[in-house]
């Protein structure tokens, strides 16, 4: 095959769209596996491609699909972890590529498979986080060895396949049914005022709706009675087709709004629609005389209870997929949206708990606002809602959960106030403030091109970006670059790890749209309150001090390397890329993480045969441990960025999400202020730039202090840019320095508090 054709085929092979198409076109799960191996064999130009799946209970790899080997051996070849080249690949969690497989001491020969002629061998593990899914293997004549480019393409593809295959495996896991949870009962309504906290600014006045995490229980109960129910087998088939079409359209809509998480967010639903066991049980119920609606209800309840009984968080979460799918099937069966769908559009949603996946579902329906009756202001859920520009208040008043659907609610998410059945006077004040708000919006858009102090020296204002959808606002408000791109949301929102290629698409989009401005990409900052269920590390006694951030990524090198490779590929021709590690606690940790960047860069240059621009590599300063060795860090790092949220939390031993100790979370504590001064001095002495990207950076009470200690880079959420610019441009270096010195001279918190402007 000519070199040009090989390159074109490999580009096709790692194209996520083709994997998604395979899923859509396959008649069932086995059909998906069969089509996948055929696709890889075609694009790779190889005679053999096989998929082996790993069973956790038996601890065996089993050949489940093949193109090129004898079809009679499917389901009959079994390998232990470490056995054969396939087993070795899964044991060592790395690709195994050999030229003469039959001569390799780890090779295991199966004469019944008919593989004698195929001695060039490549095996790549299929992983979902740390979960072992299986192995993708390719074989060909030994005269045509596998190249580094082909190895890279296979690695990208296995990450994509893992999502689909893991869903298939989850459908086969049955445990004892869980206890049935009682459906909540909602009380009456009345006038109610609740003072909460703003999680995402904005106003809304609309009818309410309670977001019930388990609405399916009530709906399924209505459809499972011995006599109740409607629909035939043909009706069920029609409902399946309508549901599949809706899910595919939702993926398109989500892709337009949130490219970070669009790729396979509804894949679990699509996989269940194709699962012979799941849908087959429904058809069996109908054949036994049950109406289609009762069949959907009974089978769905079985799966829901099965998944909820699992000890794995990521399996438990699949119960929500079944719920959503069951409601869609019932809705399409009855052709009545009220049968399975809640009307969210234009409503204010009241909820006790929200998962990131829930937020995506309801924001796609264009909700007016959200009231959460629990949760922390700094959680990733709050950040996600803010990024989606949905007004949100957190209010710890359980009476809100008793508000009947359809009640008029006024949500003032700028102040944190919630009014149920507001009076005419309150409504009039609301509408007046909304007019003022629109006027302010117009004024805020008149940003200066550069941010200058009164003495003419420059301050760089950068944007913190959570989702690509925020870039337009950042550009409109003339941000001079991205000071912090948080990469964790594609990891948090999904039930499986995003692949290297999926991450690459996001980072490439980010760098393309920022048009050469400085862009600082923070590596995965998970753990603590940002739990990745599929790592099975939830349940730590003290997650804030547990396996999180850079500790986590250094533990799971495959995950770290995939992200670094994706970032480096996206920035291959970009000179303004900066990579930043979160939660660094020692110089050893920083050097180790930085070396992973350099190693990945060297590997990519060899694989892609192109030079890659070496990015600047820096660190978040968040832990008190770094203060005593801050000069050592400044000699090694290309830049600092101070994450004040965690810096304060760990400096003062205060859980910033705990209302009981919130008064102790004090940014103007003398130790915090002096620590910040020390970091800024070390950066200046060693000639590296130092930014502030935590919440203190947008608090105009502290902006003069940062200017006074020499900080000249502030990175804030885009909507804070106008206020911060206005504050900076009213300052002079001399006045800011005097103010900072005055604050730093104080010993008591009450003394620094009295000085805040």
* Radius of gyration, alpha carbons of the chain: 28
For residue 61, the cross-strand partners are 54, 79
H/E element holding 499?
A: none
Residue that is written with structure tokens 């547990």 in the block: 546
Q: Which of 625, 564, 570, 624 is nearest to 594 (CA)?
A: 564
d(CA 636, CA 236): 63
Q: Which of 49, 97, 690, 693 is catalytic?
A: 693
Three-point CA angle 59, 62, 64, nearest 5° = 145
Exposure class string for 172-185: b at 16+ Cβ within 10 A, else e? eeeeeeeeeeeeee
DSSP string, 511-579: HHHHTTSEEEEEPP--BTTB--GGGT-TT-SSGGGSS-HHHHHHHSHHHHHHHHHHHHHHTTT-SSEEE
Q: Which of 574, 588, 429 is nearest to 514 (CA)?
A: 574
The DSSP 8-state label assigned to residue 64 in this structure reads: E
Burial class (CB in 10 A: 0-12, 13-18, 19+), 691: buried
d(CA 612, CA 616): 12
Is the Cα dihedral 499, 645, 718, 459 positive or negative? negative
What are the DSSP E strand ranges found in 383-431? Answer: 392-394, 408-412, 417-420
Alpha helix ranges (H) inside 571-720: 587-608, 630-636, 644-652, 670-685, 703-708
380 among known catalytic residues: yes
| Residues 343 and 323 sit within 8 Å (Cβ to Cβ) | no
600 among known catalytic residues: no
d(CA 562, CA 568): 10
Within a 10 A sphere around the Cβ of 27, how many other Cβ atoms?
A: 11
H/E element holding 161?
A: helix 148-171
| Residues 654 and 665 sit within 8 Å (Cβ to Cβ) | yes
Within a 10 A sphere around the Cβ of 360, how many other Cβ atoms?
A: 20
**Crossing angle (nearest 10°) for helices 313-334 and 356-364:** 20
Residue that is written with structure tokens 């040009």 in the block: 4
Close Cβ partners of 409 (under 8 Å, ≥ 6 residues apart): 204, 205, 206, 207, 208, 348, 350, 371, 403, 418, 419, 420, 422
d(CA 468, CA 260): 7
Q: Which of 43, 214, 380, 669 is catalytic?
A: 380
Phi, psi torsion values for 270, nearest 5 degrees = -65, -40
Could you tell me the two tokens for 691?
Answer: 């930014």
Catalytic (active-site) positions = 380, 693
């Amino acid at each position: 095959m000519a070199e040009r054709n090989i390159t074109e085929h490999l580009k096709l092979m790692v194209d996520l769209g083709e994997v998604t198409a395979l899923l859509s076109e396959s008649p069932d799960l086995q059909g998906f596996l069969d089509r996948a191996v055929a696709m890889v064999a075609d694009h790779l130009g190889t005679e053999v491609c096989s998929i082996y799946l790993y069973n956790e209970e038996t601890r065996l790899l089993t050949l489940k699909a093949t193109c090129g080997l004898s079809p009679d051996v499917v389901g009959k070849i079994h390998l232990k972890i470490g056995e054969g080249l396939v087993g070795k690949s899964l044991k060592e969690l790395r690709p195994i590529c050999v030229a003469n497989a039959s001569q390799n001491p780890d090779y295991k020969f199966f004469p019944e498979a008919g593989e004698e002629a195929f001695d060039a061998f490549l095996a790549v593990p299929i992983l979902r986080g740390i979960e072992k899914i299986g192995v993708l293997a390719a074989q060909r004549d030994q005269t045509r060895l596998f190249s580094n480019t082909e190895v890279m393409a296979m690695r990208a593809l296995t990450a994509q396949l893992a999502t689909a295959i893991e869903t298939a495996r989850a459908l086969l896991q049955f445990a004892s049914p869980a206890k049935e949870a009682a459906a909540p009962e909602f009380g009456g309504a009345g006038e109610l005022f609740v003072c909460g906290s703003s999680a995402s600014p904005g106003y809304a006045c609309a009818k309410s709706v309670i977001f019930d995490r388990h609405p399916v229980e009530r709906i399924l109960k209505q459809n499972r009675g011995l006599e109740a129910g409607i629909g035939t087998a043909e009706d069920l088939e029609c409902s399946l087709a309508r549901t599949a079409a809706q899910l595919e359209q939702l993926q398109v809509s989500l892709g337009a709004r949130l490219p970070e998480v669009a790729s396979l967010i509804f894949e679990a639903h699509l996989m269940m629609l194709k699962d012979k066991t799941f849908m087959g049980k429904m058809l069996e119920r109908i054949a036994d005389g049950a109406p289609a609606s009762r069949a959907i209800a009974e089978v769905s309840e079985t799966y829901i209870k099965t998944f909820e009984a699992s000890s794995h968080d990521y399996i438990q979460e699949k119960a929500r997929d079944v719920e959503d799918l069951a409601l869609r099937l019932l809705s399409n069966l009855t052709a009545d949206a009220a049968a399975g769908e809640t009307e969210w559009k234009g409503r204010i949603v009241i909820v006790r708990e929200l998962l990131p996946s829930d937020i995506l579902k309801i924001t796609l329906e264009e909700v007016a606002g959200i009231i959460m009756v629990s949760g922390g202001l700094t959680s990733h859920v709050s950040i996600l809602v803010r990024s989606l520009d949905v007004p949100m208040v957190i209010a710890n008043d359980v009476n809100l959960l008793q508000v009947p659907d359809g009640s008029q609610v006024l949500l003032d998410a700028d102040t944190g106030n919630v009014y149920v059945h507001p009076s005419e006077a309150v409504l009039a004040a609301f509408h007046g403030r909304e007019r003022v708000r629109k006027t302010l919006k117009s004024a805020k858009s008149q940003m200066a091109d550069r941010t200058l102090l009164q003495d003419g020296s420059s301050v760089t204002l950068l944007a913190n970006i959570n989702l690509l959808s925020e870039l337009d606002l950042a550009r409109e408000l003339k941000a001079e670059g991205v000071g912090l791109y948080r990469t964790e949301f594609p990891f948090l929102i999904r039930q499986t790890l995003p692949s290297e290629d999926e991450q690459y698409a996001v980072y490439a989009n980010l760098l393309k749209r920022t048009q050469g401005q400085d862009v600082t990409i923070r590596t995965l900052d998970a753990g603590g309150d940002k739990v990745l269920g599929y790592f099975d590390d939830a349940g730590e006694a003290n997650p804030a001090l547990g396996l999180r951030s850079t500790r986590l990524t250094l533990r799971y090198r495959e995950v770290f390397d995939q992200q670094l490779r994706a970032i480096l590929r996206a920035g291959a021709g970009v000179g303004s890329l900066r990579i930043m590690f979160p939660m660094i606690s020692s110089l050893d940790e920083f050097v180790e993480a930085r070396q992973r960047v350099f190693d990945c860069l060297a590997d990519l240059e060899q694989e892609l045969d192109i030079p890659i621009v070496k990015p600047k590599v820096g660190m978040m300063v968040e832990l008190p441990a770094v203060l005593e060795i801050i000069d050592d860090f400044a000699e090694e790092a290309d830049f600092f960025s101070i994450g004040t949220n965690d810096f304060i939390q760990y400096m003062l031993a205060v859980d910033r999400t705990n209302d009981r100790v919130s008064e102790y979370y004090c940014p103007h504590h003398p130790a915090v202020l002096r620590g910040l001064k020390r970091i800024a001095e070390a950066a200046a002495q060693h000639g590296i730039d130092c930014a502030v990207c935590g919440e203190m950076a947008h608090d105009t009470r502290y902006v003069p202090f940062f200017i006074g200690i020499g900080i000249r880079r502030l990175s804030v959420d885009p909507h804070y840019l106008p206020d911060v610019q206005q504050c900076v441009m009213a300052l002079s270096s001399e006045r800011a320095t005097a103010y900072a010195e005055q604050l730093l001279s104080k010993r008591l918190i009450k003394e620094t508090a009295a000085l805040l402007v």
